[in-house]
Structure 1
């Protein structure tokens, strides 16, 4: 435990991240856990963070009554096990029932099993997500290995005020089930969030076709603080990609350009 705490607090210049773009099995948590277990086991190098898509155990389903897990339930424990095995943080969102309400809840699980949570703020009204899931009320900014990270979920991408970098985070993450029909918006908005917030920005999307006949074509991507692609791929196939983020590049760029110093001051209620 003491060794982990030291490693977690020590700032590392290069954060190595594994992003997993996967065709999810519809409403089948056990099959998806097995699928991700195989793909994560195949990662043959040390990474600091593993990022999974939105609702990675079920697909983007409104069938919360039958699919919801309790807070800290089976899939969360699976995430803890993966984090321990790989000595890496793991993040992604699940369908959770907590205090009588359903949430699209992201877990960020540290290698020692401790965790942070974020409930999706902007529920997707076009799919009537708002009629099933309660909206989150607080944004999460967490610290990991000297990096400040802000994890958000899918539809949150369309709302720049919610993502505005008022806390000097280093990395903005979106986990998603973003459909092919609006993938151009996904591509453009990910890049815009990186540029306007002067941070690294990662978007992890699924691929395949769900049982509602929605087609997902991936476009998982990683951008630096100037909007330059460190990784982008319009391939619809499944893949695991390792990307290294350079903290010195971020720091030097911010110090040189100082754009965040000119940002508007505001607070969200």
Structure 2
């Protein structure tokens, strides 16, 4: 089934807030999104990079999963969480759809300038896959992963690329250029959600296959309709070999 849902980028500050307060902010924003929408929250929006509270953050993630799933009734959304696998901590992307967790992907490229490798275990690049929802082929790159051409190649053919981010304002232009280029190169929609904390770039956006950007640094919720016709039109007009193949798992 092909659908044209509303794409929603959530953009809010969460550093220095309690995990519970951040959950309440997420819940309030998701309640404003339309039915059957696809929303994205910034990277680690419930805990931030709580290096001094990793165990507490992982425990909170485990206890909140059922509530996070309920927030997706009638819609779809994604976010990343600090989780503990055996004895190691991972930054895991979670995609919830109609009340269920349907996809998990671990961050494979850790940001060395932020010393992530000292606190997180990297995911396996081979586990970066597609998930299909109502005919929309979705891929995910988590923050720093946006910089790697090899990962762009891996997600080639996606209709919608999700970028949850915690991207600093000193490299704001990089974030804007890379996300726009990713949309143009893949002839796909890019939905990116970044933190609105003081040191962050913001620049959350929905970017069309033509590179048109819908963004507003002063809003918590940015929305634009996904339109399959735009993808088909640009791929037919400028044929670079992208095809609409079946994804790994259809919802």
TM-score exceeds 0.5: yes
CA contact (8 A) 2:157 2:242 kept: no
Question: 1:243 aligned to 2:196?
Answer: no
Alignment deviations for residues 200-250 of structure 1 (CA, whole Å, 9 cap, x no partner): 1121101123xxxxx114111121122222x022x2x34212210100110
SS of residue matched to 1:143: strand
Alignment deviations for residues 175-215 of structure 1 (CA, whole Å, 9 cap, x no partner): 00111111110011001111122211121101123xxxxx1
Q: Residue 200 of structure 1 aligns with which residue?
A: 189
Greater than 6 Å deviation, 4+ residue runs: none
Question: 1:37 aligned to 2:21?
Answer: no
SS of residue matched to 1:118: strand
Q: Residue 63 of structure 1 aligns with which residue?
A: 52
1:25-174 equivalences under 5 Å are 25-26=15-16, 28-43=18-33, 45-63=34-52, 65-69=54-58, 73-84=62-73, 87-137=74-124, 138-164=127-153, 168-174=157-163
1:204-243 equivalences under 5 Å are 204-209=193-198, 215-229=199-213, 231-233=214-216, 235=217, 237-243=218-224
Q: 1:140 to 1:70 in 2, by over 3 A?
A: farther
2:12 to 16, 22, 25: 22
CA contact (8 A) 1:103 1:133 kept: yes
- Shifted more, 150-159 versus 56-65: the winner is 56-65
CA contact (8 A) 1:25 1:32 kept: no
Q: 1:64 to 1:95 in 2, by over 3 A?
A: farther
TM-score normalised by the chain length of structure 1: 0.83
TM-score normalised by the chain length of structure 2: 0.89
CA contact (8 A) 2:139 2:155 kept: no
- Shifted more, 143-152 versus 162-171: the winner is 162-171
- Equivalenced residue count is 241
SS of residue matched to 1:252: helix
SS of residue matched to 1:76: helix
Alignment deviations for residues 127-146 of structure 1 (CA, whole Å, 9 cap, x no partner): 11011111111213101111
CA contact (8 A) 1:62 1:129 kept: no
Structure 1 position 166, deviation (Å): 5.4
Q: Residue 173 of structure 2 aligns with which residue?
A: 184
In structure 1, runs of 5+ residues without a counterpart are: 1-9, 210-214, 263-269
